[in-house]
A and B are shown apart, each in its own frame.
Chain A
């Protein structure tokens, strides 16, 4: 953004009359709007793809009626949600209830500011990029607890409590497995991490060392739990908790949670592709635009695998969930960090 402002001022001299901070602020708002539009499209397409994949996995067709092969379904669904009545139950904690969906969404939305779409296409090139993403996505759990508590509903509260336990537990293997990639690149800056993987598929971090290979899978599994995706979807377990922490939400407020869920999926895919799969480094091209296509394509491939897992694996029990986090993923990710350190020293 700073660079863009500099470039704009250099090429359009009349902008020098306007204070720099104002130009920067305007650009930031424009950038945020563009990213928000991108997110909405990503989430909407994801819902369609999810339903299609779910259908095909079960030898069904999925949506077929709205548009050609149900292609307009992703337009119809948001319109339906927008037109629904906004119900606020009378006994909820109003300010928290109203605030919660936005906090959940902002947690996911904030992370997109630091994502490296390609060499030039990026909102912000933070030198602590991946650390910032880890930090800002932690906001989500606060929003979820707010939603669960303020709803004044037992299902919501149970969902929120489970979610808190789950996200806090799985944050550790996520952070540790990210640390392995960070150690391999020697930087927290996502652009630099991706540049360290340039030069062909064999240079991608997944294929660089056995520990990075393992860390990729550790990251992927534990981030599935971070975003409450199906084998770890206890916070919104339909069969036990109706809809978990967003039971009481309807219409547009529910849509924010829904949006955040699908945006989170994409975010997990994007981070995994940036850290381990070479980001915008394609086998053939990695220019400003083609690199972005590579990056989004890789992220989407991982999203598809998430859907595939969702329709394969049944939900874990709460104790199994905790066992998996603390006794399997965490020790293994510690071992990965140590092993990668040893690998780089030797």
Chain B
């Protein structure tokens, strides 16, 4: 009989205790971040000072492997990245430089001997292993900390880094520089213009 009443008392007491705890949580500010609009930037910490103490500030750490970026001027077209890639997401077309032409040097001072006509990276295949970045002799291919490049269109996930029109402009300064020739088309000859035909949406 005694146990019966202590059980009832305990039941009511523990429920009330639990309800007190949940009530405290009801009155507490929320911790949710409305992700695309709100992010935990370090400078945001002060704005949210009224909220719960933020236990961590997240920005990608050193060595984070995000989106791939090619510094165009630094690429010598050696294709070491394509060889290193385990999933074959590179599509590179190069052309030997014509005699007498100088493509300049990379920022590290290596001479450039190949025209990079096509440098596509298919990010849908990429598995972010970072093996392509390591062999790059000029540090031209890097992995940025950008992790927000999702897209509604699969084609938008293929990076087109090469700028074939850059070589053409140098070859024929007189041309208007409209559009680039399709990267797969044969490399333009010196002095010959291929004005209207190109325009194959080069994104970068």
**Chain A: residues with CB nearer than 8 A to chain B?**
53, 55-61, 64, 308-309, 311-313, 327-328
Contact = CB atoms under 8 A, between A and B. Distances in A.
A57 B26 contact: yes
B30 A56 contact: yes
B19 A308 contact: yes
Nearest to A327: B4
Interface in B16-55: 18-19, 21-23, 25-26, 28-32, 34, 52
Contacts of B31: 59-60
B15 A312 contact: yes
Contacts of A59: 25, 28-32, 52
Contact of B18 (A56, A61, A313, A327): A313
Contacts of B22: 57, 308, 311-312
A327 B31 CA distance: 43
B175 to A, nearest CB: 50
B32 A312 contact: no
B33 to A, nearest CB: 9
Contacts of A312: 15, 18-19, 21-22
Contacts of A58: 25
A304 B37 CA distance: 31
- Nearest 9 CB-CB pairs, A to B? A61-B32, A312-B22, A312-B18, A59-B31, A312-B19, A57-B22, A57-B26, A61-B30, A59-B30
Interface string B78-98: 000000000000000000000
A346 B21 CA distance: 42
Contact of B30 (A60, A308, A313): A60
11 contacts: A56-B30, A57-B22, A57-B25, A59-B25, A59-B32, A59-B52, A61-B32, A61-B34, A308-B19, A312-B18, A312-B19
A50 to B, nearest CB: 13
B30 A53 contact: no
B38 to A, nearest CB: 11
Contacts of B30: 55-56, 59-61
Interface in B123-142: none
Contacts of B34: 61, 64
B12 to A, nearest CB: 9
Nearest to A231: B15
B23 A308 contact: yes
Contacts of A61: 30, 32, 34
A312 B52 CA distance: 22
A204 B25 CA distance: 31
A59 B52 CA distance: 10
Contacts of B8: 328
A64 B33 CA distance: 11
Nearest to A314: B18
Contacts of A60: 30-32
Contacts of B4: 327
Contacts of B25: 56-59
A133 to B, nearest CB: 27
A53 B29 CA distance: 13
A122 B22 CA distance: 37
A328 to B, nearest CB: 6
Nearest to B18: A312
A58 B23 CA distance: 10
